[in-house]
Amino acid sequence: MAKANVLFLCTGNSARSQIAEAFLRKYAGDRFEVFSAGLEPKGINPYTIRVMDEVGLDIRHHTSDSVKTYMGQKHFRYVITVCAQADKNCPAALWHLGTKLHWPFDDPAAATGSDEEIMKQFRQVRDQIEGRIKAWVGELETA
Cα 68 to Cα 103: distance, rounded to the nearest angstrom: 21
DSSP for 59-76, written as a single string: -TT----BGGGTTTT---
- The answer to whether 76 and 6 have CB atoms below 8 angstroms apart is yes
User: Any idea which residues carry the catalytic annotation?
Assistant: 10, 83, 90
- Measured CA to CA in angstroms, residue 136 lies from 11, 37, 73 at distances of 22, 20, 26
Contacts of 65 (CB under 8 A, 6+ apart): 13, 35, 36, 37, 38, 41
